[in-house]
Structure formats: structure tokens, C-alpha cells
């Protein structure tokens, strides 16, 4: 199963400061017997580490999905 990153959104706690706090990755799956879509929130550091590398973003998405399946209520990748 592969994941298509559909949107990258920046989360701000205070827009007047102009700096984002975290990043929301919206995605959908392709090529599986079932579909997965939604979002995960990642930290600013995770975003900077993965920027420009689609495989790293896909790994963060997979990690977020596994975390959610295992019962964590949040959608934040660890």
C-alpha cells in the first residue's frame, strides 16, 4: 500500500507571531484492498527533517496510522 500526500497545512497557536507550531499531513492510500485517508499532525522538527523527501513523509504517515490502530487517540506521529 502506498500513500499519497494530498495537503500540507501549517498549524499556528498565534498567527500574529507568524511561526508555525506543527504541521498537518493530509493523505489517502492507493493500491490496497482497503482505503485509508485522513491526517496526522507532526512536529516542526519532523517536518524539517522530512522536507523534500516523499519517502520520509510516507514513513511518518504509516507511523501515525499504526499508532492510531494501536489505540492512541491522537493522530500525532511519534
Residue 19 within a domain: yes
**Predicted local confidence at residue 78, as pLDDT:** 57
According to the model, what pLDDT value does residue 17 have?
Answer: 80
Confidence (pLDDT) at 1: 85
Q: By C-alpha distance, which of 53, 45, 56 is closest to 23? A: 45
Q: What is the mean pLDDT of each run of 10 residues along the chain (78 residues)?
A: 92 86 95 92 96 94 93 64
What pLDDT score was predicted for residue 16? 80
In a domain, 55, yes or no: yes
The per-residue pLDDT for 75 is: 54
> 77 lies in a domain?
no
Number of domains in the chain: 1
Separation CA 70–CA 5 (nearest Å): 22
Domain span including residue 51:
2-69
Amino acid at each position: 500500500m502506498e500513500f499519497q500526500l494530498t495537503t500540507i497545512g501549517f498549524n499556528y497557536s498565534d498567527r500574529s507571531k507568524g511561526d508555525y507550531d506543527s504541521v498537518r499531513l493530509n493523505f489517502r492510500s492507493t493500491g490496497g484492498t482497503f482505503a485509508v485517508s485522513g491526517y496526522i499532525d507532526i512536529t516542526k522538527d519532523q517536518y524539517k527533517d522530512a522536507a523534500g523527501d516523499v519517502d520520509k513523509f510516507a514513513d511518518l504517515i504509516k507511523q501515525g496510522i499504526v499508532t492510531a490502530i494501536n489505540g492512541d487517540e491522537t493522530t500525532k506521529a511519534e
